[in-house]
Structure 1
């Protein structure tokens, strides 16, 4: 598992993407990024087997 982004790294990546953040937002954005990373990590572990996109659409 990788280390979560620090607030300073969040600010650097946001600026690199053309989305500068005010300093008071760095901690909050880092926390959201960490949560998203944990959710994506769980989703990557799921075994969907032979489930096709069509199967998912039909169940909705």
Structure 2
């Protein structure tokens, strides 16, 4: 498990990306990044088994094998 992003790390990362943060925004950006990371971590743990990729979905087409 990785440690959470600190406000200082968020500021450095934003600066490296060319997106300098205004003073006082470091904590909010770090908190948001940490939340996104926790959601993605949860999604990575899911077992989708035989679920086809989203690119195979065709809106409006009926699936003859679907059950209700």
TM-score range (shorter-chain normalised) is 0.7 to 0.9
CA RMSD of superposed structures (Å)? 1.7
Partner of 1:28: 28
Cα shift at 1:17: 0.4
Corresponding position: 1:11 with 2:11: yes
Task: List structure 1 segments (4+ residues) > 6 angstroms apart after TM superposition.
Answer: none
Aligned length: 58
- In structure 1, C-alpha distance between the alignment counterparts of 2:2 and 2:58, rounded to whole Å: 36
Give the structure-1-normalised TM-score.
0.87
Task: Kindly indicate whether structure 1 or structure 2 has the higher relative contact order, using CA contacts under 8 Å at least 6 residues apart.
Answer: 1
Partner of 1:43: 43
Cα shift at 1:50: 1.2
Gaps of 5+ in 2: 60-68
